[in-house]
Amino acid sequence: MRLHVGCAMWTHPSWQGRLLPHPLPPGERLRAYASWCNAVEGNTTFYATPSRSTSESWAAQLPPDFRFLVKLPKTVTHERRLADCDEDLRSFLSAVEPLEARTHALWVQLPGSFGPTDLGVLAAFLRRLPRTYRYAVEVRHRAFFEDPRCERALERVLAGAGAEWVPFDTVEFFRSRPTSDAERDAWTKKPRVPRRSTALTDHPVIRYLGRDDTDETVAGWRFWVGRIAEWLREGRSPTFFVHTPDNAEALTLARRFHDEVRERVPEVAPLPEPEPASPPALF
């Protein structure tokens, strides 16, 4: 029974020198982040496949119980839509192999146009994947959330591969109109779908988008504090990722979420003490 929490990235300009030490060379940035959180979304691998040496550096910076959710590249998921992509997939898997022991799951994020008629392609793709990894699939087509038949069909495909369905909960974010530039930008880009809170495996993954206002973000995750506490008592090991439009306080919010769940489930191990952002004063 473990709870993992994290953010969408491990570096952010507003964290530097305030929450994380600055400056830090690339080979130490993930290590500093891992003193705050025990999971991270690997969004960077969506845009470019890392070199094997980069993956080795990431792995070397992480403790054994850290969870890295590695996103498949967009060439596989969005450009080729899981078809005729074996060469790209092989290159990617080879590049991230050094992360295997730290990889919580390979994350298959699909475009909003990938719908129920594409489930055969998804099923065939999942069957071809190596069994050495867990898999987590994120869909954005509204039919999967609004049509029970489509929902059940997708669940059958995922269950056949032992894969988890990753919901991106944006309900709180879309509850009221945006009030900042970051919120207005997210308003046009983030998916607007109903909340889903059913776990298919023992390792559910939740992505949650709050607001730039901390109080609104915390109020919006109350549902998840209760649900994740239930999952932990059932023996599951969930991972919860905190997003806000500007992500300025995402690090502190992730730890706050972990603390709120521990208040309900004290058996959950505490997070490590964060590394100081600056060296201690001599006087």
Please name the residue that has the structure tokens 């959330």.
Answer: 145
Tell me the C-alpha distance between 36 and 33, whole Å: 5
Per the model's pLDDT, the better-predicted residue between 214 and 26 turns out to be 214
Q: pLDDT value at position 279?
A: 60
Predicted confidence (pLDDT) per residue in 131-172, tens digit: 999 999 999 999 999 999 999 999 999 999 999 999 999 999
For residues 87 and 14, give the distance between their C-alpha atoms in angstroms, rounded to a whole number: 38
Burial of 133-157, coded b for 16+ CB within 10 Å and e otherwise, reads: bbbbbbbbbeebbeeeebbebbeeb
Q: Percent of the chain having pLDDT more than 70?
A: 98
First to last CA, the chain: 43
